[in-house]
């Protein structure tokens, strides 16, 4: 329970910092273009609720409010209820004597203001990744750049498809030369479907068909559930620490050793070793150990059920990493590719929702985002944190451009319709549309949040 509360607090803080920053940047985009178009901005707020402090410069109140969940920009004339004349039952298009009101400006300016928020999110994502690739770019000290399969779990969907250890995945579900992240998302987007896979084996190219289980829709699904264990590193598995009395200790392993092979298989990561032991169900293992550069063994180790799985009882040495900043030309290209790939992924998810390949329950709301943000913060590595921030920023930009009332894309759509009609739509009609959209959006938000909460470890452990 204590661990759940600590991780929950960490997740909440990470969520507030990350998403709050994304929303403020989004609103800043609206703010800048509104100012350039000489729309009167009444407030630029960080947070919601009661005003804590701030200062007023010109017409704008720059303030910090009590609830640090993003922020907002308040422009004169953007609130339909302020423009409606409830007493007479009519609505004016805009106050004729107020040139600073949003509705007094040309439609093209209002569309620019609406598109500025999502554009700011796209720019932020690009700048974040540009800074990461140009100044940091954390990579393994020895990197495997090909999508080589390290191990295939016997009887798994990957094994049934005919994929073997050592194969290189050249094409998966239409994606050419994908990396492992892209392979993972391609599989996730095709739950309970059969997808084409092209593998390179020795000097041959084979066309295979891989069935994706329905469980790919679950949040905890990973490639090992498909039976695919990727080779991400080269070299043996380093041993940082051996637990006293554990099978590794009884077999004679020591801190500083490295596991060169297991039953003749040259595993490179603990993930592959754990998958192998899970399939072996406690069968004794023949290990070849490297100690001070010399090979020892084979020695026999007897896995034991520790912490819910078959394990040897040692802590693996952390993967050595190095910073490899890219030249700015390459950094720009990589940043652009990152934003394009993430945007394409979001559109594939949306398409999957409409074609019923993706379930709504797979989507993450604030609680789900908070968990991911907390996990990224816990790694204390810049790569996961910056990557997550950029991904959320791209998400925020695309979602806000969707042609749904309340969202920026909905406002742009209404302005386009008014342009075609060559007249303003009644404020009362707009207000009713937005009220209905607000109810739909809140209902969806509540559903997603409830679904996120049901997935929390605390609640999943309570299930029989």
Fill in the DSSP letter of residue 324. -
Q: How many CB atoms lie within 10 A of CB 26?
A: 26
Active centre residues (catalytic): 27
Query: Has residue 31 got a pLDDT over 90?
Result: yes
Mean pLDDT across the chain: 82
Tokens of 223: 């490639």
The mean pLDDT of 276-295, rounded to a whole number, is: 88
| Domain extent listing, the chain | 103-137+325-464, 149-230, 237-321
How far is the C-alpha of 438 from the C-alpha of 407, rounded, in Å?
10
Query: Has residue 452 got a pLDDT over 80?
Result: no
Query: Are the C-beta atoms of residues 275 and 224 closer than 8 Å to each other?
Result: yes
pLDDT in tens, 311-321: 888 888 877 77
Tokens of 231: 């080779």
Structure pTM? Answer: 0.68
Which residues, 6+ apart, have CB-to-CB distance to 169 below 8 Å? Answer: 147, 149, 163, 178, 183, 197, 198, 199
**pLDDT of 351:** 78
pLDDT in tens, 188-242: 888 888 999 999 998 899 999 999 988 888 777 888 889 899 988 888 888 888 8
How far is the C-alpha of 45 from the C-alpha of 28, rounded, in Å?
10
Which residues, 6+ apart, have CB-to-CB distance to 443 below 8 Å? Answer: none
Query: Has residue 162 got a pLDDT over 90?
Result: yes
Using pLDDT thresholds of 50, 70 and 90, give the confidence band for residue 83: low
168-172 and 285-291: which strand pairing?
unpaired
Greater confidence (130 vs 453) lies with 130
**pLDDT of 417:** 92
Nearest Cα to Cα of residue 27 among 100, 124, 95: 124
pLDDT in tens, 330-385: 999 999 999 998 888 788 877 777 776 766 666 655 555 555 555 555 555 677 78
Q: What is the CATH number of domain 149-230?
A: 2.30.42.10
Fill in the DSSP letter of residue 217. G
CATH topology of domain 237-321: Pdz3 Domain (2.30.42)
Which residues, 6+ apart, have CB-to-CB distance to 55 below 8 Å? Answer: 61, 62, 63
149-230 shares its CATH topology with 237-321: yes
DSSP H helix total and E strand total for the chain? 14, 19
pLDDT in tens, 394-428: 888 998 898 888 889 999 999 999 999 988 888 78
Helix (H, G, I), strand (E, B) or coil at 379: helix
**pLDDT of 97:** 64
Using pLDDT thresholds of 50, 70 and 90, give the confidence band for residue 5: very low
Using pLDDT thresholds of 50, 70 and 90, give the confidence band for residue 1: very low
**pLDDT of 149:** 92
Query: Has residue 143 got a pLDDT over 80?
Result: no
Using pLDDT thresholds of 50, 70 and 90, give the confidence band for residue 159: very high
**pLDDT of 206:** 93
**pLDDT of 437:** 85
The mean pLDDT of 11-15, rounded to a whole number, is: 64
Range with the poorest average pLDDT among 4-13, 87-96, 344-353 = 87-96
**pLDDT of 134:** 93
The mean pLDDT of 306-328, rounded to a whole number, is: 83
User: Percent of the chain at pLDDT above 70?
Assistant: 83
């Amino acid at each position: 329970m204590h661990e759940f509360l600590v991780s929950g607090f960490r997740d909440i803080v990470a969520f507030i910092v990350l998403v709050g920053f994304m929303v403020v940047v989004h609103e800043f985009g609206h703010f800048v273009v509104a100012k350039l178009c000489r729309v009167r901005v009444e407030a630029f707020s960080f947070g919601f609720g009661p005003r804590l402090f701030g200062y007023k410069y010109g017409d704008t109140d720059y303030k910090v409010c009590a609830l640090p969940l993003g922020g907002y920009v308040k422009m004169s004339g953007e609130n339909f209820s302020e423009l409606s004349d409830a007493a007479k039952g009519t609505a004016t298009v805009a106050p004729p004597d107020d040139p600073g009101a949003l509705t007094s400006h040309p439609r093209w300016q209002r569309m620019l203001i609406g598109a500025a928020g999502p554009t700011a999110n796209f720019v932020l994502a690009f700048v974040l990744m540009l800074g990461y690739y140009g100044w940091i770019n954390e990579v393994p000290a020895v990197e495997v750049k090909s999508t080589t399969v390290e191990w295939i779990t016997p009887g798994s969907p990957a094994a049934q498809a005919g994929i073997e250890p050592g194969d290189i995945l050249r094409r998966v579900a239409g994606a050419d030369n994908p990396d492992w992240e892209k392979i993972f998302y391609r599989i996730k987007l095709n739950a309970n479907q059969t997808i084409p896979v092209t593998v390179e084996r020795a000097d041959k190219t084979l066309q295979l068909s891989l069935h994706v289980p329905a469980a790919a829709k679950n949040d905890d699904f990973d490639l090992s559930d498909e039976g695919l264990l990727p080779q991400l590193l080269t070299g043996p598995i380093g041993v940082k620490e051996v637990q006293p009395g554990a099978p590794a200790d009884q077999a004679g392993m020591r801190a500083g050793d490295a596991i060169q092979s297991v039953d003749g298989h040259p595993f490179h990561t603990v993930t592959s070793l754990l998958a192998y032991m899970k399939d072996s169900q406690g069968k004794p293992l023949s290990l070849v150990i490297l100690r001070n550069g010399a090979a020892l063994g084979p020695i026999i180790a007897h896995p034991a059920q520790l912490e819910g799985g078959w394990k040897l009882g040692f802590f693996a040495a952390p993967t050595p990493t190095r910073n490899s900043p890219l030249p700015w030309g390459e950094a720009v290209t990589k940043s652009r590719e990152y934003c394009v790939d993430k945007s394409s992924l979001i559109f594939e998810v949306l398409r999957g929702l409409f074609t019923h390949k993706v379930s709504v329950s797979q989507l993450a709301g604030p609680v789900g985002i908070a968990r991911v943000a907390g996990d990224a913060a816990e790694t204390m590595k810049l790569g996961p944190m910056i990557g997550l921030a950029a991904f959320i920023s791209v998400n925020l930009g695309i979602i806000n451009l969707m042609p749904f009332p309340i969202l920026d894309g909905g406002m742009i759509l209404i302005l386009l319709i008014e342009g075609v009609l060559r007249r303003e739509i009644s404020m009362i009609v707009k207000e009713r549309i937005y009220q209905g959209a607000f109810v739909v959006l809140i209902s969806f938000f509540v559903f997603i949040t409830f679904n996120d909460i049901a997935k929390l470890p605390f609640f999943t452990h309570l299930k029989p």
